[in-house]
Structure 1
Amino acid sequence: MKTTVETQAGPASHVRDVVVVAILLVLALWGLDDSFATREYLVVGGVAGGSALVTAAMVAGNGKGTEVFLLIAPVVYVLVGSMVAMRGDQPIGLPTPDAVAGLLAGTITAPGDFLTTIPPVDAGGGVMVLPFAIGCVSAGASGWMALRTRRAVAPLTPMLGALVLSILLGTADPGRLELRSIAFAGVALWWISVRATRSEGIENGHRGQVVRAAVTSLLVGAIAVGLAALGLTNQGTDRAADTEPERSVLRGHVGSGTDVSGADNPLADFRRYNPRPAVLGQDVFAETLLRVKGLPAGTRLRFVTLDEYDGSTWSAGNRTVPGADDALFQRIGSEIDPQRRGKEVTVNVEVTKAYGSNWLPLAGELTSLSFDYSDGQAQREDVRYNLATDAAYVSGGVGARDDYTFTAVLPRDTLRPNARAFEVDGPLQPRGEFLDLFLFAWFKSDMSPMERVRSVARYLHKNGRYSDGVLPSERRYAAGHDQQRLGFDFVAADQIVGNDEQYAAAMALLANRLMVPARVVVGAVVPKGGRVEGKDVRAWVEVRVADGSWRTLDTSTFMSRKPPKRTDEEVERPTEHLIEEGENPDLEEPGEGTTTGQGRGKSDGATTEPPDGDLRSTLSFFLPLLGLVPWTIPLAKWVRRRRRRATGRGAWSSPWVGGWREVVDTARDLGTTVPATMTRVMQAEHLGEGQSLARDADSAIYARAPHPELDPDRFWEGVDDVRSALRHAAPRLRRLFAPFNPASLRGRR
């Protein structure tokens, strides 16, 4: 005789459920740890979750229904949120109209503001609504289901949502996410097991106990595997030597960055920094632009990075670095995590009226920024920083009394002689295609992409001349760097003449066409004493090497400082230059030039992949396969159905016994409780379907011997009709979940 022990949920069980929800909430919110500057977000999210759990416990304890909880919960959200998430610098705020309005607006805007701010984000302001909302909604929903239902898995669903959301909102750096996910999975595993035992009871001596234990283990194991897999990283496309494998997150995929198309362009206006007669306009050649303290003499101070060529000008923009999700002009907080190692510096910059630009001069990789005067035109809230280009844009511009202090790291930016180019699939900057004819000899050479770039640099330096177009005899050398100026008026001219603008613009464009990513930087070389004048402003070129970092191509390798010749003399042809360097380009098949160049470019940029022996890469391959585990449940049901319907197995009445069990199991999978102590007819009346089918089953099962009128196939047609009617009457969500519900595999109750 079987003995069934039902475990009832008492106060101790409710307390345990509330405590587990609180623990799971902390573990879920912990996924945002690398995104915030302090752990104040954890306090805000915890208070939100605690208030939601208290509300759920009070409503459930008074016997009220879900509709009452749904009416009270929003009121608690607004009151507590306005005091905690919108408190500003105070220990606790007041639910003033402004605070309530800010909370409601932040509920919608906080995710976008959070994802478009470079982490770590300051734990203050409207972004704190994000952890508050996650904590309040997930803990409230999970706590209410835990207190008001006996389902084992359902209360975990909101917590899983909170965990997934915190991972997607986090940073690409995995940190200790694997350990947090495993801890979450362990607590979830224990909680589901306890609730399953409490709600289902233990059937002593019943063979279904084994099936129930196996199925529960499979289900919980699948959840644990899925949670652990969320913590695993994906191999990113960044080949930087100092970077770690990254994971896919929303950051970098939400928002398009601040539009900087209206900003001034120091490269296009480069002659402003050169001496020129009054008739040509005012210059700042001898005027002081900046006073810099804290940077060694000779350090490059970056004004702007220009990495997009449209046929007329080089300009700055968003998403201009292929494969870099952080190539956006975004908000900054009080600090920024550096991406590479280098010397740490603290720099103070005094800005004069003569500078006047939208671009904030910086050096290296920015780690923090503060403006010295709170009443200045520019403040940190106006700054948008691009991690991929190290350029900072100020929406209102930078001028006098906008002095500022920043900290940064100065990574090594020297281009080594044996450096290889970053691997790309083909020539870059399509608007620079007009230079391909000039580069034809290099495309046909046997050199690697980086060797070609160095060779072109030597060609420009050897055959070029430098002029600002100031002298009357040199005014024909116009400013600008459009296709005409860089093509027929520069590399294809009788004399290659220009200043920093033309040399840097052309060199960067030529490198891109040779399959070496390159960009133009306008800035200044800090002189001794730190007083930066207009004459110190320079333009240079940075190229991307195999490890993903950007290195400075020494200006002296491609920019000539010799004055123009009095008479135009025919410059050396590219083919002659290559032959002089020992190369013998094959020019007999011009149609294959670009293809040859692309082929060599791939081999030059190839990097040796790290061995696959580390645990992370192994797990990231195998764990997703374990996501198939939940599909074993519908497979087991399909096998069971085939066995029940088969004739010739066991007693002759087995198809009728199995057919009715199939009806009952379908109802259980749809969430309907069917007591096993009822007769088949009573079960049919309880379900509201299949009364005649139940009587047919009883007639066949209790018959002394089979007779011709008992047709198992016809009976199973009736089984399918009843099952279809049960599914049709069930809610859509239950119909979708029924194939994966292990309830019918746990044995009869």
Structure 2
Amino acid sequence: MSAARRPAGVDRLWPTLVSVLLVMAMLAAAMIPWWPIYESAAFVVASSAAIVAGTAIAVAGAKFGWPAWAVVIAVFGTYLVLGVPAAVPSRAVVGVIPTPQGIVELLTGAALSWKQLVTIAVPVGSYQTLLVPPFLLALVAATSAVTIALRSRRPAAAVIPPAVLLLAGIALGVVHAALAIETGLAFLITAVAWLVRVAIANRREITSGRPVELALADARRVLGASAIVAVALVGATAASVTLPMPPRSVVRAELQPPFEPRAHESPLAGFRTAFDPEVARDAMLEVRGLPPGAGIRIATLDTYDGIVYTVGGADGTAESGRFTRVPYRLDQTAVRGESTELDVLVRGYSDVWVPGIGQLERITFAGERAELLADAFVYNDVTGTGAVQVGLEALDRYTAQSVVPVEPESLARLQPGTSVLPPAPELPKELAVLLDEWAPASDDEGERLQGVIAALQREGFVSHGLESDQVPSRSGHSLDRLVELATERPMVGDGEQYAVAAALMARQIGFPARVVVGYLPDPGDPLPEPGESTVFDSDDRQAWIEVQTAEGAWVSVDPNPEPRPIPEREPDEPTIVSRPQSALPPPAERTPVDDLDSDPELALDRGDDGTEPWVEALLGALAITGFVVLGLAVLVSPFLAIIVAKLRRRRLRRLAPSAVERIEGGWQEFADTAADYGYAIRPTATRAEQAATVGGLAPLVLASVVDRAVFAPDGPSDGDDARVWSAVDELQDRLAAPRSRRERILAAISLTSLGGYAVTRRGPKP
């Protein structure tokens, strides 16, 4: 391109300098949405280096007339030379000299860091290669924009690369309105300034003479552009104040988190295993820095389906189920509390959940697996629960800096918060009766909560039911177990039942409440001296609740009674049935024949057939036994008929003529078993929906296998039917294992799965 066609005149210093500075101003404004992602000085260095380097390449290309391929090579070379110290500073020697490993990570980061950037919690600082996206985009955008400004026939198009950079920052950024107005104003002003500069330059090229008219025309353009900017600012401000704005959706909000909490067993489901005599005294964690008397949380559970308390909502869509990576730090300035630093050494503890306290700000792992754990750590800031997908092991160490909310002085003064939790089943009427008794509806919410906690601690007794000398106590926290807790006297259970009962009653009062599983120090142990560590054994595991106050803080409440001797069980009150007195009839008149019958000698002479007395007794006993057996058979026959019908249905399904029918029959057998155990299995639901109703990973896997086998173009593979039935048998055993003998018998004779039963090889009609 000739010098005459260059809008700013590359050979003229001041016009070129003005054009370059205006374009760089647009690029700087376009980088503002990227700041909330990083919030680090390293980001400022990386973006500034990219803009300056790209501008220098474009100016040199325009000055010396480089072809396009030469500009591309220059960009790539600059990316390799500056990329490591600017975008991957941890891999640069003395922060300047690139290392071979740094160059490899830089090149791979150009392709892989984008996805990582939108699946990680912000701010990310200079973590790994996450500065590569803004550095690379800014370098390319600066080179393109300045090249267009200095060499193109349409220099106004130099607005496009900064606009793309701006949109990328908005799309990859976070969902909040911080800096939104400032960003829009900055980019609008710089873009309008550049367009005015282009218009003035074009007018000067096509107009000759009359300098006064030129100056007036330029002034009109500047004033007109300023008026447009002012109108846009006023309109945008008025719209933002008066009109309801829909929530902004960005890429980060649409991607699924890498950690799926529903794939892991709830910490409350295996609560009793921690108290097994073989492991009860095993050391789990060694913690230094805990506040006096405080415990440590394993996980916070907010979802209850009537059977088990879990994390993250029934379908995984709740905010508490979205775990993201935390490479740098979290902003917890909105949390009112005390800053705490914990040093944790893992001893016997082994699980994916990372114990902590309060709201996490920063976590640093140490030990041989430090890098692996740092890469695998994910966190949910809604519940304050952390996890590592690879699981913690013995000798793992980490330091966690957290903000611990201030505990209230009295529960009676609390007012409920406004958080919306996943729905929970209706409070059983037995617990509702106790709630009305312990906390009358006429009292304030805080007073009712205090009354419930005090009553549980007063009326309840603790037993894990694992040793022979302990009072029997059934495990589990399903609704029927809570009903048993509420109706038995004395009330016997442990943290698994008391925490869930307290959470449901607190929610009935109006408090958002969730269950916390963790470790609490033994009340009888002395408090550690400053600098000393606290060792939590396996039997220090406990469950308690958190309730949200009107200030938005989640405060811990322990509803568990103090361990103490358990009194004898109160006998059930007998039912008194009043009956009217029966009138005795007058004695019958005796006759001479009756007198003869009373004479034993005459009785022997009359009607003696010579039968031995023991034979008569045996025949009488056999007759009575026969009548009893016959009566029992009549009573049991309907239940036996149900069991026989189910066995025949199972046999027909398992021996169906085709593999597809046998596989479908296997799934129907599992679904019928689940329905008999009380799961709400809808016949019209898909297999995946039925599996989700049962819960757990194994039913979902089986449903997927059955769907793939049934709908595969080539049909199922050899042996698929046998494998499906083997999985069905295993799932049936797992459904029956946690239930009592009475519950298993009731399921065996349940008519739920026999509705619409027809004698076909495939079992019940759909």
TM-score range (shorter-chain normalised) is 0.5 to 0.7
Q: 1:234 to 1:366 in 2, by over 3 A?
A: farther
| 1:194 equivalent in alignment to 2:197 | yes
Aligned 1:381-460 pairs, distance under 5 A: 381-414=375-408, 416-423=411-418, 429-433=422-426, 435=428, 438-439=431-432, 445=441, 453-460=449-456
Tell me the distance in 2 between the aligned counterparts of 1:287 and 1:535.
8
Distance 1:448 1:236, change over 3 A: farther
2:552 pairs, out of 530, 548, 552, with 548
- 1:641-661 per-residue CA deviation (whole Å, 9 max, x = no partner) reads xxxxxxxxxxxxxxxxxxxxx
2:541 is aligned, of 537, 543, 548, to 537
Residue matched to 1:503: 498
In structure 2, the partner of 1:681 is none
1:407 Cα deviation from its structure 2 partner: 2.4
Larger radius of gyration: 2
SS of alignment partner, residue 196 of structure 1: helix
- Taking the aligned partners of 1:465 and 1:27, their CA distance within structure 2 comes to 65
Note if contact 1:429-1:512 (Cα within 8 Å) is conserved in structure 2. Answer: no
Quote the Cα distance in structure 1 between the aligned partners of 2:396 and 2:245.
Answer: 39
Deviation at 1:523, TM superposition (A): 1.8
Q: Residue by residue, what CA displacement relative to the aligned partner does 1:469-519 show, whole Å, maximum 9, x if unpaired?
A: 1354756421111233234x3235565421011111222233335543211
1:412 Cα deviation from its structure 2 partner = 0.8
Aligned to 1:466: 462
Question: Which residue of structure 2 aligns with residue 50 of structure 1?
Answer: 52
Is the Cα contact below 8 Å between 1:319 and 1:327 reproduced in 2?
no
SS in 2 for 1:547: coil
Quick one: which of 358, 363, 377 aligns to 2:357? 363
Matched, 1:128 2:131: yes
1:26 paired with 2:28, answer yes
Report what 2:271 is aligned to.
270
Give 1:153 deviation, angstroms: 5.0
* Paired residues of 2:90 and 2:128 also in contact (CA < 8 A): yes
Are the equivalent residues in 2 in contact too, given 1:264–1:358 (CA < 8 A)?
no
8 Å contact kept, 2:515–2:543: yes
Contact 1:151 1:196 in 2 (8 A): no
1:123 to partner: Cα distance: 0.6
Q: Which of 307, 311, 315 is residue 312 of structure 1 equivalent to?
A: 307
Structure 1: unaligned runs, 5 residues or longer = 1-5, 238-245, 277-281, 572-749
Taking structure 1 as reference, are residues 294 and 226 closer, same or farther at Cα in structure 2, changes over 3 Å only?
farther
Note closer, same or farther for the CA distance 1:213–1:187 as it changes in structure 2 (3 Å cut).
closer
Q: 1:32 to 1:405 in 2, by over 3 A?
A: same
Cα 1:520–1:320, aligned 2, differ >3 Å: closer, same or farther? farther
1:357-392 deviations in Å (ceiling 9; x for gaps): 322222222223223323569632232222121222
Residues matched between the structures, number: 544
CA distance in 2, matches of 1:502, 1:270: 10
> How much identity, in percent, do the aligned residues show?
25
- The range that moved more, 227-236 or 257-266, is 227-236
Residue deviations 1:49-89, cap 9 Å, x none?
23332333333345567687568756765675467535643
Specify whether residues 549 and 200 from structure 1 end up closer, same or farther in structure 2 by C-alpha distance, changes over 3 A only: farther
2:24 pairs with 1:35: no
Distance 1:563 1:209 in 2: 94
Per-residue Cα deviation, 1:431-454 (whole angstroms, up to 9, x for no partner):
523636743886994566655544
Q: 3-state DSSP class of the match of 2:500?
A: helix
> In 2, distance between residues paired with 1:195 and 1:418?
66
Contact 1:517 1:543 in 2 (8 A): yes
Written as runs of structure 1 = structure 2, the 5 A alignment for 1:236-315 is 251-263=252-264, 265-274=266-275, 276=277, 282-284=278-280, 286-315=281-310
1:349 aligns with 2:344: yes
1:197 CA displacement: 1.9
Secondary structure in structure 1 of the residue aligned to 2:389: strand
Q: CA deviation at 1:413?
A: 3.3
Q: 2-side partners of 1:500 and 1:543: how far apart? A: 16
**For 2:367 and 2:104, how far apart are their aligned partners in 1?**
30
For 1:644, the equivalent position in structure 2 comes to: none
- Whole-Å Cα distance in 1 between the matches of residues 508 and 383 of structure 2? 20
Measured after TM superposition, the shift of residue 125 of structure 1 is 1.9
CA distance in 1, matches of 2:357, 2:240: 35
Please, what TM-score do these two structures have when normalized by structure 1?
0.62
In the aligned structure 1, how far is the partner of 2:562 from the partner of 2:340? Answer: 33
Task: Return the letter of the residue paired with 1:157.
Answer: I
Distance 2:516 2:79 in 1: 49
Partner Cα separation in structure 2 for residue 146 and residue 319 of structure 1: 55
> How far apart are the structure 2 equivalents of 1:220 and 1:451?
57
Q: What corresponds to 1:85 in structure 2?
A: 87
| 8 A Cα contact 1:29 1:42, kept in partner | no
- Tell whether 2:524 aligns with 1:525: no
Would the aligned equivalents of 1:372 and 1:404 in 2 still touch at CA under 8 Å?
Answer: yes
Kindly tell me: are residues 225 and 47 of structure 1, through their superposed partners in 2, closer, same or farther at Cα, counting changes over 3 Å? farther
Task: Note if contact 2:260-2:321 (Cα within 8 Å) is conserved in structure 1.
Answer: no
With over 3 angstroms needed to count, the CA separation of the structure-2 counterparts of 1:100 and 1:373, relative to structure 1, is closer
1:261 aligned partner, one-letter code: R
For the 8 Å contact 1:303–1:521, the answer to whether it is kept is yes
* Partner SS state of residue 555, structure 1: coil
Distance (Å, rounded) in 2 between the aligned partners of 1:225 and 1:101 = 49
What residue identity is the alignment partner of 1:384?
Answer: V
* Counterparts in 2 of 1:358 and 1:327: CA distance versus 1, 3 Å: closer
SS in 1 for 2:326: coil
Taking the aligned partners of 2:446 and 2:140, their CA distance within structure 1 comes to: 55
- Deviation digits for residues 411-467 of structure 1, max 9, x if unmatched? 213364222212367xx5445236367438869945666555445445544543332
SS of structure 2 residue aligned to 1:397: coil
User: Shift of the alpha carbon at 1:95?
Assistant: 8.9
1:102-139 C-alpha deviation (Å, 9 max, x unpaired): 44543343233223333331314221212112312322
Q: Work out the CA distance in 2 between the residues paired with 1:236 and 1:271.
A: 50
Q: d(CA) in 1 for partners of 2:257 and 2:144? A: 34
5+ long unaligned stretches in structure 2: 529-533, 574-766
Task: Indicate if the aligned counterparts of 1:45 and 1:134 stay in contact, CA closer than 8 A.
Answer: no
Distance change in 2, residues 1:388/1:549 (3 Å): same
Query: Which residue does the alignment assign to 1:330?
Result: 324
Please tell me whether the aligned partners of residues 502 and 545 of structure 2 are also in contact (alpha carbons under 8 angstroms).
yes
- Name which of 465, 476, 479 aligns with 1:480: 476
Q: Structure 1 234/226 Cα, relative in aligned 2: closer, same or farther at 3 Å? A: closer
| Structure 2 residue corresponding to 1:112, chosen from 101, 107, 115 | 115
Q: Distance in 1 between matches of 2:15 and 2:313?
A: 54
Deviation (angstroms), 1:160:
3.3
Q: Are the equivalent residues in 1 in contact too, given 2:149–2:156 (CA < 8 A)?
A: no
Contact 1:348 1:406 in 2 (8 A): yes
Q: Please state whether the residue corresponding to 1:255 is helix, strand or coil.
A: coil
CA distance in 1, matches of 2:86, 2:197: 34
Q: Which amino acid aligns with 1:553?
A: V
**CA deviation after TM superposition for structure 1 residue 311, in Å:** 3.4
Q: 1:537, CA displacement in angstroms?
A: 2.7
Q: 1:403 to 1:213 in 2, by over 3 A?
A: closer
Residue type matched to 1:192 in 2?
A: L
For 1:334 and 1:372, locate their aligned partners in 2 and report how far apart those are by CA, in whole Å: 15
Is contact 1:376–1:401 with CA below 8 Å preserved after alignment?
A: no
Q: Please, what is the CA RMSD of the aligned residues? A: 4.4
Q: Is the 8 A contact 1:429 1:513 kept in 2?
A: no
Q: Distance in 2 between matches of 1:73 and 1:20?
A: 21
Q: What is the DSSP-based 3-state SS (H/G/I as helix, E as strand, rest coil) of the residue aligned with 1:292?
A: strand
**Is residue 2:366 matched to residue 1:372?**
yes
